[in-house]
């Protein structure tokens, strides 16, 4: 199997807290991996290592088979990793187009911005992907006025826009209306159909079970188990999750 | 047929209304600040028509306002980035001291001007390093460096001022503070150059985009790959260069370097930035607002004297301007949220 991402023996400590201990984690080249676990299990730390935000204390990472060291966020994005963060990672006082292109502004050789192009592409995204039809929203609208679902839409479209190969969704359904959740799950299936990969983190095990090819269970910084979704019925998975939370072991 | 035409015209009006609303939202502050400038000007013209209708007062404005305007413009970036710098008045003196020492050592005025700007850059960079690498709040860090830089100037000079007469007649002095056509002060041209440069870098360059982003939400910016540490250090360094430049302009104008150079600039420069609508909370602010506000601040100072109030009033009024500006920002911000 081809791997989009391979991580071996990843450990990360924040002061006294061992956030991750010898974690092995892989994502196939066309696979949706569900990442589940209780609060503090290390899910967010793991994805922030993948996105280059945190550096692991030890362990190895391979993107498309190539070893990567000293990963930064900018480098990870070049490698095709885009993330929809739980906290949305928007700048509320800035305009829509500045949020879409945050950290990846379209610019010339000397760093001067191509504002017209960014505005134009934002306009296209609004009509095409975000489904904004209200005349009150324009590329130079300030994001602060958007609803929760609209903000989520902005951060998803942003992840989508850069032709990412690996899209990470961190608690994407939080605070969404039911219809929006459904749209989101369809969007994850779309990633799969487009031949790309996805890491899907969600508290709601129903959502994860319905879209993931494989589910990785993290507990207290370690991988507690892995399941191919097709092999495990939802009820059994829920039982196991419950047992992990109680005892720290799957069986 | 008629109804379609009517529909269209109603649609047109609706479109006009939304674009007008957008114009108001995006440029409201700028329109407001120009209104304030015009209002103050009208009051002064009515109150003292002989003074304010003669060209000489405007020549005076254009000779003194640039000294703090060239600093207020880049300082706008520091405030947008969510930081503050209180040390720039001392950096004015550091820069001019570097100029005086270099002229003393080499006799070269162009070299001395370059040394002045480099000294300002290094002093500003040190501010940035202390804030970013050591994680000290910029308010505290730059109170410290303000005294440190001033102290360094006093120790190195023994408190003695120096003459800049050696620059008299030099092309550089003419280019910096000469009078074009015997009227227009060259420093006014430099102010416009600085304003244009800062505008371009703030609005049309990745650097400025990142300044807005880190001031608005640093966590988001870093999650999206913005190099927050570098951007933050650079805004401090740029203000350092600008302060050294303001210092050399002010010293060249009077052909003299006073070791107290810069004292009195802190309040009016900050007042200009905040009056110009730059948010003390970071994330928003405009070069245009600061530019216009510099002239309001300058006009008020002249107005205070013209009305016959003592100079003591200037501090009171500048202080009031800062307090009112930031209070208005807070109230407006709360209403919008």
pLDDT digit string, tens, across residues A190-227: 889 989 999 999 888 889 999 999 999 999 999 988 99
CB A226 within 8 A of CB A26: no
Q: Of B224, B210, B195, B206, nearest to A113 (Cα)?
A: B206
Task: Band the pLDDT of B2: cuts 50, 70, 90.
Answer: very low
Query: What pLDDT does residue A121 have?
Result: 93
Please give the Cα distance from A164 to A84 (Å, whole number): 12
> Is A113 an interface residue toward B (CB < 8 Å)?
yes
Distance between CA atoms of B84 and B146, rounded to whole angstroms?
12
* pLDDT beyond 70 at A71: yes
Whether the pLDDT of residue A168 is over 50: the answer is yes
Confirm or reject contact between A238 and chain B (CB < 8 A).
no
Q: What is the pLDDT of residue A161?
A: 84
Q: Tokens at residue A225, please?
A: 């188990």
Percent of chain B with pLDDT over 90: 72
Residue in the block written with tokens 């939080």: A174
Q: Which of A53, A88, A115 sits opposite B222 (nearest CB)?
A: A53
Residue A151 tokens read as 């903000």
Q: Where are the domains of chain B?
A: 29-331
Structural domains of chain A, ranges and CATH numbers in brackets? 1-80+164-251 (3.40.50.300), 91-163 (no CATH)
Of A187, A163, A197, A172, nearest to A5 by C-alpha is: A197
Query: Quick check: A116 pLDDT over 90?
Result: yes
What residue of B is the nearest CA neighbor of A114? B204
Mutate to test the interface with A, among B23, B208, B216, B224 (most CBs of A within 10 A): B224
pLDDT bin (cut points 50, 70, 90) of residue B6 is very low
Q: Report pLDDT for B1.
A: 40
Burial zone of A106 (CB within 10 Å; 0-12 exposed, 13-18 middle, 19+ buried):
middle
Express each pLDDT in B43-62 by its tens digit: 888 888 888 888 888 999 99
Facing residue for A91 by CB, picked from B18, B205, B216 = B216
Whole-angstrom distance, CA of residue B65 vs CA of residue B70: 9
A240: confidence class by pLDDT, cuts 50, 70, 90:
confident
Cα–chain-centroid distance for residue A27? 12
- The mean per-residue pLDDT over the stretch B124-150 comes to 98
Which 204-243 residues of chain B touch chain A by CB within 8 A? 204-207, 209, 212-213, 216-217, 219-227
Write the residue in B15, B204, B226 that is nearest to A103 by C-beta. Answer: B226
pLDDT of residue B308: 76
Answer yes or no: are the C-beta atoms of A149 and A10 closer than 8 Å.
no
In angstroms, rounded to a whole number, what is the distance separating the alpha carbons of residues B262 and B87? 10
Instruction: Kindly state whether A134 is in contact with chain B, defined as any CB-CB distance less than 8 angstroms.
Output: no
Cα dist. B275→A107, B287, B299, B322 in Å?
Answer: 32, 12, 13, 7
What is the reported pLDDT for A242? 82
Q: What is the pLDDT of residue B17?
A: 67
Q: Look up the pTM and report it.
A: 0.90
Q: Do B205 and A111 touch (CB under 8 A)?
A: yes
Confidence of residue A134 (pLDDT cuts 50, 70, 90): low
**Cβ of A106 under 8 Å from any chain B Cβ?**
no
pLDDT digits (tens, 9 = 90+) for B270-325: 999 999 999 999 999 999 999 999 999 998 888 887 777 777 888 898 999 999 98
**Max mean pLDDT range (A118-132, A176-190, B23-37, B155-169):** B155-169
Tens-place pLDDT, residues B230-272: 999 999 999 999 999 999 999 999 999 999 999 999 999 999 9
179-198 in chain A: CB under 8 A from chain B:
none
The CATH number, out of the four listed (1.10.3470, 3.30.450, 1.10.3210, 2.60.120), of the domain defined by the range B29-331: 1.10.3470
Query: Out of B26, B223, B284, whose CB is closest to A85?
Result: B223
């Amino acid at each position: 199997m081809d791997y989009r991402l391979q991580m071996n023996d990843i450990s990360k400590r924040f002061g006294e807290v061992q956030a991750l201990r010898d974690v092995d984690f892989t994502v196939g080249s066309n696979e949706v991996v569900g990442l589940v676990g209780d609060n503090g299990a290390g899910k967010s730390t793991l994805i922030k290592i993948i996105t280059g935000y945190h550096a692991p204390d030890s362990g190895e990472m391979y993107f498309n088979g190539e070893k990567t060291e000293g990963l930064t966020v900018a480098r990870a994005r070049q490698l095709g990793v885009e993330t929809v963060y739980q906290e949305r990672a928007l700048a509320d006082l800035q305009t829509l187009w500045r949020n879409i292109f945050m950290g990846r502004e379209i610019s010339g050789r000397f760093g001067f911005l191509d504002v017209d192009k960014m505005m134009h592409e934002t306009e296209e995204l609004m009509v095409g992907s975000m489904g904004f039809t209200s005349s009150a929203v324009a590329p130079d609208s300030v994001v602060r006025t958007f609803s929760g679902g609209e903000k989520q839409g902005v951060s998803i479209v942003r992840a989508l826009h850069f032709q990412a190969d690996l899209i990470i969704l961190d608690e994407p359904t939080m605070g969404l209306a039911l219809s929006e959740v459904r749209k989101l799950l369809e969007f994850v299936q779309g990633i799969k159909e487009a031949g790309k990969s996805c890491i899907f983190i969600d508290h709601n095990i129903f959502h994860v079970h319905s879209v993931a090819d494989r589910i990785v269970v993290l507990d207290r910084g370690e991988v507690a188990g892995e399941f191919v979704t097709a092999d495990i019925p939802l009820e059994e998975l829920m039982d196991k999750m419950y047992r992990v939370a109680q005892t720290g072991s799957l069986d | 047929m008629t109804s379609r035409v009517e529909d269209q015209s109603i649609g047109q009006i609706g479109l006009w209304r939304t674009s007008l609303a957008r114009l108001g939202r995006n440029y409201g502050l700028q329109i407001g600040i120009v209104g304030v400038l015009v209002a103050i000007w009208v009051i002064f013209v009515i109150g003292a028509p002989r003074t304010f209708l003669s060209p000489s007062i405007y020549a005076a404005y254009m000779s003194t306002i640039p000294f703090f305007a060239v600093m207020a413009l880049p300082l706008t970036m520091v405030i947008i980035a969510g930081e503050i710098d209180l040390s720039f008045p001392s950096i004015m003196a550091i820069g001019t001291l570097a100029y005086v020492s270099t002229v003393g050592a080499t006799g070269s005025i162009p070299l001395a001007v370059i040394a002045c700007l480099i000294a300002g850059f290094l002093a500003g960079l040190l501010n940035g390093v202390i804030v970013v690498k050591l994680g000290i709040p910029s308010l505290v860090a730059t109170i410290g460096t303000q005294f440190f830089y001033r102290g360094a100037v006093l120790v190195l000079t023994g408190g003695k001022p120096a003459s800049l007469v050696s620059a008299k007649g030099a092309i550089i002095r003419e280019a910096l503070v000469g009078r074009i056509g015997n009227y227009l002060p060259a420093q006014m041209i430099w102010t416009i150059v600085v304003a244009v440069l800062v505008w371009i870098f703030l609005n049309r360059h990745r650097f400025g985009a990142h300044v807005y982003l880190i001031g608005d939400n640093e966590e988001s910016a870093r999650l999206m790959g913005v190099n927050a540490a570098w951007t933050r250090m650079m805004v401090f360094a740029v203000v350092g260069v600008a302060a050294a430049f303001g210092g050399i302009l002010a010293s060249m104008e009077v052909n003299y370097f006073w070791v107290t150079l810069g004292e009195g600039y802190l309040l009016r420069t900050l007042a200009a930035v905040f009056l110009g609508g730059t948010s003390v909370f970071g994330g928003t602010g405009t070069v245009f607002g600061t530019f216009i506000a510099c002239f309001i601040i300058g006009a008020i100072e002249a107005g205070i004297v013209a009305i016959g109030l003592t100079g003591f009033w200037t501090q009171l009024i500048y202080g009031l301007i800062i307090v009112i500006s930031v209070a208005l920002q807070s109230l407006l911000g709360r209403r919008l949220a």
